[in-house]
Amino acid sequence: MICPLALSQVQKIDGYWGRYLDELSSKGILSQWDQIVSTGRLENFYRVARGESGTHEGLRFNDSDLYKWLEGAIYVQKLRPNPKIAEVIETSIKAIEVAQAEDGYLFTLVQLNKPNFKWRNLVNMHEMYCLGHLFEAAVALKQELNDDRLMAVSIKAFNHIASIYGPDKKPGFCGHPEIELALYRMTEATSDKRFAEFADWMIDIRGHRPSPFEAEIEDPETKDYFRAANNLILKDGKYDGKYAQDDKPIREQTVIVGHSVRAAYLYAAAALSAARRNDKELLGAIETIWNNLTERRMYITGGIGSTGDNEGFTDDYDLPNLNAYAETCAGIALAMWGRRMFEATGQSDYLDVAERVTLNGVLSGVSQDTTLYYYDNPLESRKTHGRAPWFLCACCPPNVARFVGSIVQYNLWESDATVYIGSPIDGEFRLSCGLTLKMETKYPLDGVVKISFTGKSSRPVKLSIRIPEWSDEVNVDFPESSEGAEYEGGFMVFNHHWTSSTTLTIDFEMNPKMHKAHPHVIDNVGRLAVSYGPTIYCSESLELESAPQLKVFDLAEELRETGQKAIDGSPVFQASALLEPVSPYTELYREFSDEDPMAGTINFIPYRTWNAKGPSFMQVWLRHN
């Protein structure tokens, strides 16, 4: 079993991720809390507790924002304690406790406003989705802060669900997967297998016909209320199941379809299910879907979901830049899925994708100070896109907080005999063998990581370090050992008796590279994108006159470092470019005659840092000559 390190094993995190944790602790978590309070999300819980009815503030699934925020706040509080965060964590726990109904039910919209809709519309209502986020917050609270209060609320809610749905009761699963992942974590946190078995059942019954959703959609009492939601689900007036990955059983699915966050949450859970049941058929199916996604439907930034129409997938190679959806949550969900695939298979290529999306398609979704967010992450902008502190549908901001807060779990794992490093994190980590692993690194700003240990190991331990897909040259300095590394599953594996005097320095050499897309990605024909190590770059300008859209990459000269740093400390690169002359033209159209382009330059900064000064002209894929 490959298990991620618990946050309690983190002695400290500094460096690149440490700065994000500092910002979340001092600003991001509390600014999100202010939004949760000022938008009435918290008050909905108090209203339920006071026995009110007839009023509910915001969207029907707003409870999930409080739960998801709470999970993130707990991680950040664990790693960067702040008395103000402790206070609001306490406030939110109490609000949740008092809102739960006697029978275990908890969903403030139905409790306040739609009592006759209780468990009537799993496809649209999001009751289980919201409870899934509550369960994850409860796991975080129990595991990181030794507090069982929300686990008690969660078990009561689960018992309520299991009194209605189950193998010998009604079939039932949520239109928006999430509770499945949460249930596996509940089992992990409590050792009670009932939760995981229930999730296995939900994964297995999904996609069969008749779907329980078909009758729900036709329910005359709820039909009007869900008209807009049903329009997303129905294709030509009929239910085909694709939007919610309910078109066929997962074991028979081969192509990724529908809503991208739902899909990636579902398959992340299915990977856990396959691993715990040793179910090769299920794992094989998810691998096929994964390959369809990563070989034909994923942006170079790791972003997924090509259109806002269904917040999800369209066709193979349909990856428009300007209108890319690539929701921040979908990026996080993909990192979750990649992590679970690695845990199930031990193969590093899943972590290559997780790293790609983490450092590009997810971190682009949050400002450097962690107070502004993108919902969608297009790969081109014409001064039309800006980050915002919050959204009416605010799934992304708290998702970023819980993801960054638990970043160690996406990069460090242990099994009986091995410690795995996905991507280096500057910090110190207590291993279960008794050693403390220390990594000193600026990663991802450069590729050097110095590894050392303190303490004594109770048993021999292998150190497995992922060789990133982008890395051509790896330099290893291991003065204590004359033996080289072995290679396994995309990792270099060092088998050594680690002591306090051991140092191992690895340099994954980073060089700027240029990339082409498959010619069927029509938007990118004749264009190149730039990367440096794991970081995808873009070009940006606040003014139309110097917009990257007006420039053509001149391939006659190589990319060069400017010596300047981007706002996150990454190197800025420059290339020669040919510029579309703007002046002296004033006509909208003119007859073409030979015009000499002007020589100029084009600068590249990390895509994740764009829009630091407000809306701009931006492109990831640039025309070349």
Task: Pick out residues in 99-158 that bind Zn ion (CB under 5 A).
Answer: none
Residue 395 as a binder of Zn ion (CB under 5 A): the answer is yes
Peptide bond into 389 cis (omega under 30): no
Report the distance separating Cα 378 and Cα 406, nearest Å.
25
Residue 290 burial (CB count, 10 A)? 22
Report the distance separating Cα 305 and Cα 318, nearest Å.
10
Q: Which stretch binds Zn ion (CB under 5 A): 20-28, 321-329, 442-450, 580-588?
A: 321-329
Peptide bond into 210 cis (omega under 30): yes
Instruction: Report yes or no: 72 and 398 within 8 Å, Cβ to Cβ.
Output: yes
CB of 326 to Zn ion, least distance (A): 11
Q: Residue 126 or residue 527: which is nearer to Zn ion going by CB?
A: 126
Q: Which stretch binds Zn ion (CB under 5 A): 148-156, 323-331, 483-491, 591-599?
A: 323-331
Q: Residue 7 or residue 395: which is nearer to Zn ion going by CB?
A: 395
Interface pattern 350-389 for Zn ion (x via CB under 5 A): ----------------------------------------
CB of 373 to Zn ion, least distance (A): 9
Q: Residue 28 or residue 571: which is nearer to Zn ion going by CB?
A: 28
CB of 332 to Zn ion, least distance (A): 8
CB of 149 to Zn ion, least distance (A): 27
HEC string of 184-213? HHHHHHHCCHHHHHHHHHHHHHCCCCCCHH
Q: Residue 365 or residue 571: which is nearer to Zn ion going by CB?
A: 365
Q: Which stretch binds Zn ion (CB under 5 A): 91-99, 100-108, 382-390, 392-400?
A: 392-400
Exactly one of 161, 304, 329, 400 binds Zn ion (CB under 5 A); that residue is 329
Q: Residue 395 or residue 622: which is nearer to Zn ion going by CB?
A: 395
Nearest to 285 by CA among 361, 344, 240: 344
Q: Which stretch binds Zn ion (CB under 5 A): 185-193, 248-256, 396-404, 572-580?
A: 396-404
**Contacting residues for 578 by C-beta, under 8 A, at least 6 apart:** 551, 552, 554, 597, 598, 599, 600, 625
Q: Which stretch binds Zn ion (CB under 5 A): 155-163, 326-334, 337-345, 592-600?
A: 326-334
Task: Pick out residues in 589-608 that bind Zn ion (CB under 5 A).
Answer: none
List the structure tokens of 524. Answer: 């990118």
Q: Residue 357 or residue 395: which is nearer to Zn ion going by CB?
A: 395
CB of 264 to Zn ion, least distance (A): 12
CB of 261 to Zn ion, least distance (A): 6
List the structure tokens of 40. Answer: 């009435």
Nearest to 372 by CA among 535, 568, 200, 612: 612
CB of 180 to Zn ion, least distance (A): 18
Q: Where are the alpha helices (DSSP H) in 39-105?
A: 41-49, 63-79, 83-99
User: CA 518, 520, 525, 531: dihedral to nearest 10 degrees?
Assistant: -30
CB of 366 to Zn ion, least distance (A): 12
**Contacting residues for 310 by C-beta, under 8 A, at least 6 apart:** 232, 243, 258, 259
CB of 456 to Zn ion, least distance (A): 45
Q: Which stretch binds Zn ion (CB under 5 A): 10-18, 295-303, 391-399, 494-502?
A: 391-399
Q: Which stretch binds Zn ion (CB under 5 A): 204-212, 324-332, 511-519, 525-533?
A: 324-332
Q: Which stretch binds Zn ion (CB under 5 A): 228-236, 298-306, 325-333, 409-417?
A: 325-333
Q: Residue 402 or residue 466: which is nearer to Zn ion going by CB?
A: 402
Report the distance separating Cα 547 and Cα 545, nearest Å.
6
Give me the residue whose beta carbon is nearest to Zn ion. Answer: 329
Instruction: Report yes or no: 422 and 358 within 8 Å, Cβ to Cβ.
Output: no
Residue count at the site for Zn ion (CB under 5 A)?
A: 3
Peptide bond into 584 cis (omega under 30): yes
User: Apex CA 138: angle with CA 22 and CA 27, to 5°?
Assistant: 20
CB of 388 to Zn ion, least distance (A): 12
CB of 393 to Zn ion, least distance (A): 7
Q: Residue 395 or residue 404: which is nearer to Zn ion going by CB?
A: 395
Instruction: Report yes or no: 96 and 157 within 8 Å, Cβ to Cβ.
Output: no
Q: Residue 41 or residue 114: which is nearer to Zn ion going by CB?
A: 41
CB of 46 to Zn ion, least distance (A): 26
Is 269 buried (19+), middle (13-18) or exposed (0-12) by CB count in 10 A? buried
List the structure tokens of 180. Answer: 């499945």
Q: Residue 326 or residue 449: which is nearer to Zn ion going by CB?
A: 326
Instruction: Report yes or no: 449 and 440 within 8 Å, Cβ to Cβ.
Output: yes
Instruction: Report yes or no: 245 and 257 within 8 Å, Cβ to Cβ.
Output: yes
Residue 57 burial (CB count, 10 A)? 15
The residue type found at 447 is: G
> Tell me, what DSSP letter sits at residue 361?
I
Q: Residue 64 or residue 441: which is nearer to Zn ion going by CB?
A: 64
Task: Pick out residues in 404-433 that bind Zn ion (CB under 5 A).
Answer: none
Q: Residue 202 or residue 366: which is nearer to Zn ion going by CB?
A: 366
CB of 68 to Zn ion, least distance (A): 10
Task: Pick out residues in 226-245 that bind Zn ion (CB under 5 A).
Answer: none
Q: Which stretch binds Zn ion (CB under 5 A): 230-238, 322-330, 574-582, 615-623?
A: 322-330
**DSSP element (H, E) containing 289:** helix 280-296
Report the distance separating Cα 219 and Cα 120, nearest Å.
8
Q: Residue 141 or residue 329: which is nearer to Zn ion going by CB?
A: 329
Q: Residue 174 or residue 412: which is nearer to Zn ion going by CB?
A: 174
Peptide bond into 212 cis (omega under 30): no
Task: Pick out residues in 461-480 that bind Zn ion (CB under 5 A).
Answer: none
CB of 59 to Zn ion, least distance (A): 12
Q: Which residues bind Zn ion (CB under 5 A)?
A: 329, 395-396
